[in-house]
Amino acid sequence: MPLGAGLAFADKYLGNDNVTFTYFGDGAANQGQVYETYNMAELWALPVIFVIENNQYAMGTSLKRSTKSTTLYGRGRPMAFPASRSTAWMCWR
């Protein structure tokens, strides 16, 4: 995720019209770096779309056993990201 946001920052800095798609799994969705990246993407209005792949078992642990919030596409609500559910994906901008 941070790498994808970095690529999006470079695109914005260079002034081109590229958009970065950043894919990550449901296990990564519980890491702190994800929320830090969300915050930076919002602050800097980066051209990035975050896509969460929900395979139900991050490193062998069920999503229901590893997190209270199982609505992965809603994780961007604190940053006011528009989100949609289609097997579980979140996009922004």
| pLDDT for the residue 51 | 83
pLDDT per residue as tens digits for the range 31-82? 778 888 888 988 999 999 888 877 776 667 676 666 766 667 666 666 666 6
* pTM exceeds 0.85, yes or no: no
What is the 3 state secondary structure string of the chain? CHHHHHHHHHHHHHCCCCCEEEEEECCHHHCHHHHHHHHHHHHCCCCEEEEEECCCEECCEEHHHHCCCCCHHHHHHHHCCCCECCCCECCCC
